Amino acid sequence: MRKKKLVLQCSCHFTRMGLEALINESELSASVELVASTRDATPCESLLAELPVVDIVVLILRNNDYNLASLLELIGERLPHWHPSSQVVLMGNLSSMNVLKRCFSGLENVWSITASSAPLAALLKHLQEIAAAEKMKVKDPRAGLSQYERLVLRKLLGGESLNQIAGGLAIHYKTVSYYKRSALAKLGMSSLSPLVLNRHNAAPARKAIMMGLWKKLAIAIKQPTPQKYEVG
């Protein structure tokens, strides 16, 4: 059985380096091959469009890596076109978990949505499950937004008006308004303004988290813990 090809995107340099080492030097390396690793969202999208085979995509969302509109377009539209059988592992801040789960949990190509503060064992478990899976999980369509709710939400966040969306989709603007209200109700929000993955200024806490991460990685791959580090 061939190794499944994995693409990793994470804006934090040390988290990314640690995960690369964990993927390449753990037992996961027998079934998964890391073919690309990048810091920024734009190069990641370019790689996903250019690579001939991608089976697993790990996106660790920090700061303004993606806004919700671009993330909806990438995961819901572009990625299924480029790599129809690929599976996505999303990791984000606890504050964004509800939005991420509501927006993406119903998509067939999203395997898991996990807080970035979760133990490394949780990420490894998801990757091992994907590596061993012969077919995609069956999703519950009631778990999140419908296809039209996601589409309308993405277009609204992209700056289109209700009338523009209605014209583009050849439906009545009241129908577009219904999808907007329905999507916001499912997300537990009254307006579009909170639907952006904002920057978080928490450098001291991030340093502590990173040192703990390095210690876990050192144990996992049996390497000495580095004495010096920076927060990417």
Residue 10: predicted pLDDT? 92
Nearest to 162 by CA among 154, 170, 152: 152
The answer, as to whether pTM is greater than 0.75, is no
Overall size of the chain counted in residues: 232
Nearest to 214 by CA among 37, 13, 65, 58: 13
Q: Is 120 or 161 the better-scoring residue by pLDDT? A: 161
Residue 103: predicted pLDDT? 84
Token digits for 201?
Answer: 């200024």
Residue 64: predicted pLDDT? 67
Please write the tens of the pLDDT for every residue from 32-55. Answer: 999 999 999 889 999 999 999 999
Please write the tens of the pLDDT for every residue from 173-201. Answer: 899 999 988 888 887 777 777 665 443 33
